[in-house]
Chain A
Amino acid sequence: MAHRSPFPHSRRTFLRMSGLSAAALVAAGCGSNTGRPGSAQGDELVHWYHQYGEDGVRQAVERYAAEFEGADVRVQWTPGNYDTKLQSALQGSGPPDVFEYQTKVDLVRAGLLEPLDDVIADARDDFTEAALASHTVDGTVYGIPQAVDTQVLVYRRSLLSDAGLEPPTTFDALLDAARTLTGGDRKGLFVGNDGGVATLAPLALFSVGLAYVTDDHRVGFAEPEAADAYGRLRELFESDALLLGAPTDWSDPAAFVQGLTAMQWTGLWALPQIEEAFPGDYGVLPWPRLIDAGADSVPVGAFGAMAYAEGAKVDTAKEYIRWLWVERTDLQEDFNLGYGFHIPPRRSIAENADALAEGPAADVVRYVDELGRTSSPPEWTPAMESVLKDALTRIIKDGADPEPELRAAAEGVQDELDRLYG
């Protein structure tokens, strides 16, 4: 899922980061070491993060690590393909004690993730439901959510009202609005250069009341409604109202800010740039339902802090995670709101955050609370994801018949589910 990395690096932030890294090296004086003298216990923990796009995150997490008194924590900042590097590290080549990742059932089945129920016990009810659900397998929590990210439909208020349109609350209204707003060099809607394969796969299912996987671990998209929902995405792709081939993809607000599109599906992280470009002239919406039995939804994703179950210092690692992500609420607030724009996973913090108190940002917080759905649940593995995306690409781009495509994909996914839950 495109949501895998909650802080995508746009080209701009990436360039900024590379410029900054030189300064950061000088400032830190040395690589990733915390620079603290050895602690009394002599325990050393290695904590992996992927490379965040925002300035200052690395210095922040190193500062948090240095404050922990129970052990020497060495932060490893990991640029490049984090998924591959972490996966191969967990398989034996120097696994970290603590790391951030998504909880996936195949990792749990392989015994790599330490259960963290006792770590989160005191504050379990305070965490946003969808964020916690994305780290829960068979009722056990394996990751403590660090930062909640979501995606919304951003639209230009003035363009819609000039065209006499209401903000669309159904898929049909959205398609109409996209067609009406298309003209000249502007398209009506942008959902990604792939036509929505990456962003809309789970949302189209929610819009007809379905999901990737049912509660009893059966494939959730083998229904005729799923074929309808994905068939409508093909209609959108062919409508000539969809922006395709924009220089930057959906996760970057550039296409919207430059006026290439009147509406764009993008991330919460993009709102500050949009506010700067069109102050007061934009609104946010969830992905609308297709049928009455379906649901409006926003996807919720959250990296969680996890402990490597086979590590020698797993108890220290758990204590560190509890201290960092459960006890120190001030650090969670700093991490979420000090550098980029994310929702703190604990309601008590999110409700009191000024940056999220009004305007479209407040709407987003409300959507996450009321309509938020886990976009990549633990039972949905990367292998299943690529099977469905292949089918979806053929449906949307090639115009393949949705029913046989989905039936074939469902078989592959069910095999995988049976292997993991059988």
Chain B
Amino acid sequence: MNGSAPAARGPGRRPRARGPVLDRPAVAFWVFAGPFTAGLALFTVVPVLWSVYLSFFDARNTVAPTTFVGLRNYTDMLTSPAFLDSLLTFTVFAACTVPLMFAGSLALALLLHRARWAQPVLRSVYFLPAACSYVAASLIWKLSIFNGVRFGLANTVLGWFGAEPVAWLSVTDPPWYWLALVTVRLWLQVGFYMLIFLAGLQRVPRELYEAAWVDGAATGWSTFRHITLPQLHATSAAVLLLNLVAAYQAFDEFYNLLGTDGYYPPYARPPLVYLYFTALGAGQDFGRGSAGAVILALLIALATMAQGRFLGFGRSRA
């Protein structure tokens, strides 16, 4: 609404009826915001509400159900071992990716921040993978890097040390597939979060460091610990939150690395993959699928609020 405020002052001096239609603040507002609002309502709000509606019905093979079942879909999902297992899969995935992504992108940003030359080039190089699609990256990981034959990249490296080739994505004991799942996400996203940290670093006032040095603080770890990190508080909170939500929404790399021919194995099945197959795959069960989606949305909301509380995300710094 901020944008329309100055517009309201100008033409307000003239009698309203005589000015061009577009000069009226309400009209101008809706011309700009209307299409977006309509799109949001049509493609996001309506489906979300419809999904909530479906979650209270027996909606197998139909999106216009008639049998009301109350909370049965919710109790089914919350007692389904497969759904609970998918939450566990998410937890493992988040526990691996969130800290690694945080540490990796922060480290890259610190290094790049100190780079004396070629900083813009290096910044672009690290950011470039973020422009690659998850599907394409997953295919590269699956076909070239983590294939099971001797000439795969990962197995070639193993071969230098005399180790036998490993079928990374086919075996479950040990669960090597996690290596592919985690690394593909790191490669794709670390540059993006690095940029966010870099922006944060550039906003840290230089005088703080100078003052610290004058006071005798050693460069390196203690400066980082007591000045850089606290100054990056808001940025860190944002990165952690975005990472956690992204981990909840993981779908592409799992589906493309481990699924074949429209079938996904019963291990390493994150919530969205499980719900996809429940609602749209073999199951065609929109009631339970929607119930699962609502549960997942509530979990994300809860996690976000908890994180906001602990890390102070969204609060303005004093």
Contacts and interface: CB of A to CB of B under 8 A. Distances in A.
B262 A81 contact: yes
A398 B174 CA distance: 10
B265 A393 contact: yes
Interface residues of A, number: 37
B149 A246 contact: yes
The CB with the most chain A CB atoms within 10 A, among B144, B150, B284, is that of B284
Contacts of B263: 2, 197-198, 386, 389
A84 interface: yes
Contacts of A245: 146-149, 152, 166-170
A87 B150 CA distance: 41
Contact of B265 (A4, A246, A397): A397
Interface string B241-273: 000000000000000000011110111000000
B283 to A, nearest CB: 6
A386 B260 contact: no
A83 interface: yes
B62 interface: yes
B153 to A, nearest CB: 12
B170 A244 contact: yes
B62 A91 contact: yes
Interface string A137-178: 000000000000000000000000000000000000000000
A194 B147 contact: no
B282 A194 contact: no
Interface in B38-81: 61-64
A24 B276 CA distance: 34
B173 A399 contact: yes
A247 B64 CA distance: 43
Nearest to B176: A245
Interface residues of B, number: 33
Contact of B172 (A381, A383, A398): A398
A10 B86 CA distance: 31
Nearest to B155: A245
Contacts of A83: 262
A246 B260 contact: no
B277 interface: yes
Contacts of A194: 170, 260, 265
B22 interface: no
Interface string A3-24: 0100010000000000000000
A382 B169 contact: no
A394 to B, nearest CB: 6
A394 B266 contact: yes
A193 interface: yes
B280 interface: yes
Contacts of B170: 193-195, 244-245, 397
Interface string B141-160: 00110111110100000000
Interface in B113-149: 143-144, 146-149
A385 B61 CA distance: 17
A192 B167 CA distance: 12
A47 B149 CA distance: 43
A397 B171 contact: yes
Contact of A197 (B152, B168, B173, B265): B265
A292 interface: no
Contact of A383 (B169, B267, B283): B283
A327 interface: no
A26 B2 CA distance: 51
B281 interface: yes
A260 interface: yes
A352 B49 CA distance: 59
A330 interface: no
Nearest to A390: B266
A185 interface: yes
A110 interface: yes
Given A110-B61, A247-B143, A247-B147, A198 B260 contact: yes
A167 B89 CA distance: 44
Interface string A233-252: 00000000001111101000
B277 to A, nearest CB: 7
Contacts of A390: 265-266
Contacts of A81: 262
Contact of A247 (B149, B172, B260): B149
A390 B265 CA distance: 6
A382 B282 contact: yes
A92 interface: yes
A106 B283 CA distance: 12
A198 B284 CA distance: 21
A296 B167 CA distance: 30
B89 to A, nearest CB: 14
Interface string B261-301: 11101110000000001001111100000000000000000
Interface string A364-390: 000000000000000001110110011
Given A193-B260, A245-B147, A247-B149, A87 B266 contact: no
Nearest to A84: B280
Interface string A174-214: 00000000000100000011110110000000000000000
Contacts of A386: 263, 277, 281-283
A246 B282 CA distance: 27
Given A244-B170, A386-B277, A393 B266 contact: yes
B63 to A, nearest CB: 7
B255 to A, nearest CB: 12
Given A91-B61, A245-B152, A193 B281 contact: no
A87 B149 contact: no
12 contacts: A84-B281, A91-B62, A92-B64, A106-B61, A192-B260, A243-B149, A249-B260, A381-B282, A383-B282, A393-B266, A397-B171, A397-B267
Interface of A: 2, 4, 8, 81, 83-84, 87, 91-92, 106, 110, 185, 192-195, 197-198, 243-247, 249, 260, 381-383, 385-386, 389-390, 393-394, 397-399
Q: Which 6 A-B pairs have the closest CB atoms?
A: A245-B148, A382-B282, A244-B167, A245-B167, A244-B170, A390-B266
Given A2-B260, A386-B283, 5 more contacts: A81-B262, A195-B170, A198-B263, A244-B171, A381-B282
